[in-house]
Amino acid sequence: MLGLLCLCSIALGTKSIAPERVLELLWSPDGSEESGIVHQMRVPRTEFGLVVGAALGMAGALMQGLTRNPLADPGLLGVSAGASLGVVLTTGLLGITAAQGYVWFAFGGALAAIALVYALGSAGKGGATPAKLALAGAAVTALLQSLVNAVLLFDAAALGDFRFWVVGALTGQPAGVLVDVLPFIAVGALLAATTAPALNSLALGEGVATALGRNVGLVRLRGAAAATLLAGGAVALCGPIAFVGLVIPHMARSFTGPDHRWIMLYSALLGPSLLLAADIVGRLIARPDELHVGIVVTAIGAPFFIALVRRRRLREL
């Protein structure tokens, strides 16, 4: 399915190009306008969709496993709010509007936000429990979002740049940015894969996990670091695309059951599948214009979120 969506992402768009012509241009670029569309626009956005979708899917699976909260997503720990503040401060105070400039401040803001959340959640008796991390994340997110709004209120130019970034899109970024951020996402994916077995123990309860030889604090710290690298890199590249980290782990769990090793793997495949499918839909339904992928994903994810909450309430009743 993912391979088919990659081909569709390269073949379909606001400009119609015959499929056989697309295949010809993939192997033999000829410098034509159609060749430029395929190689400079569609192939890079497909690569962004693959990397960002996998990163968000795995980050969501990690967040839900670490907090034992099925409604958790990467934004829970302030990642999106920290990246947003980094972008706003960069464009508003430093005047840096190029993507290759502000992407690093977005990434740094996400890292700083998760560090602050983890420090607050670890303070006091009991260490970093899921409830304390969720509360700390909510508090830090509210604080950072208020700072973002304050800067935007006084800087119209920053508002214009931020408004495009915050929607979430696979376009508008130079291909070199992906190459720069990819190592961080790769390290996060490796950490996530090695943390997955410990999440199976953690799902049985902290006491059982400790009895099985797991260092719960170390597992949470490693998982938080992995989620930060994954979600921070994805948000820095394409903006805070919502609901992918929430929806994808549940879709993966319907195939795999509760084993986090398989959930992580399927999340890495289903995440880009959802993102590319939404991007293709956004290109086709608004021709000759297009809808950003963040809008389409939100339209898909919001009903899923409502259905998930209602199902859990019915189970509790």
Better-scored residue on pLDDT, 20 or 69: 20
In whole angstroms, give the CA distance from residue 18 to residue 50: 23
For 147-178, what is each residue's pLDDT tens digit?
Answer: 988 888 877 767 776 777 788 888 877 778 88
pLDDT at 313: 52
Q: Is the pLDDT of residue 92 over 80?
A: no
What is the per-residue pLDDT across 221-266, written as a single tens digit (0 to 9) for each? 898 889 888 988 888 888 888 889 988 998 898 888 889 999 999 9
Return the CATH fold of 2-316.
ABC transporter involved in vitamin B12 uptake, BtuC (1.10.3470)
Domain ranges of the chain: 2-316
Specify the pTM: 0.88
pLDDT band at 5 (very low <50, low <70, confident <90, very high): very high
pLDDT of residue 128: 66
pLDDT-derived band at 314 (thresholds 50, 70, 90) equals very low
98 vs 248, higher pLDDT: 248
> What are the tokens at 132?
């304390």
Of 85-89, 187-191, 269-273, the poorest mean pLDDT is in: 85-89
Residue type, 33: E
Output the CA–CA distances (angstroms, integers) from residue 306 to 247, 300, 302, in the order listed: 11, 11, 6
Contacts of 234 (CB under 8 A, 6+ apart): 51, 52, 55, 56, 59, 74, 185, 241
In this structure, are residues 68 and 134 in contact, taking their beta carbons and an 8 Å threshold?
no
CB atoms near residue 286 (< 10 Å): 14
Distance, in Å, from the CA atom of 188 to the CA atom of 182, rounded to the nearest integer, reads: 10
Instruction: Kindly list the distances between the CA atom of residue 247 and the CA atoms of 242, 270, 308, 315, in Å, as whole numbers in the listed order.
Output: 10, 10, 9, 19
**Average per-residue pLDDT for the chain:** 85
Place of tokens 């700390």: 136
Mean pLDDT within 58-63:
92
Longest dimension (CA), the chain: 65
Percent of the chain scoring above 70 in pLDDT: 94
Res 188 pLDDT > 90: yes
Give CA–CA dist 58/231, Å, rounded.
9
Predicted pLDDT at 317? 41
Q: Which is higher by pLDDT, 25 or 316? A: 25
| 5 vs 133: which has the higher pLDDT | 5
Residue 26 to residue 37: CA distance in whole angstroms: 11
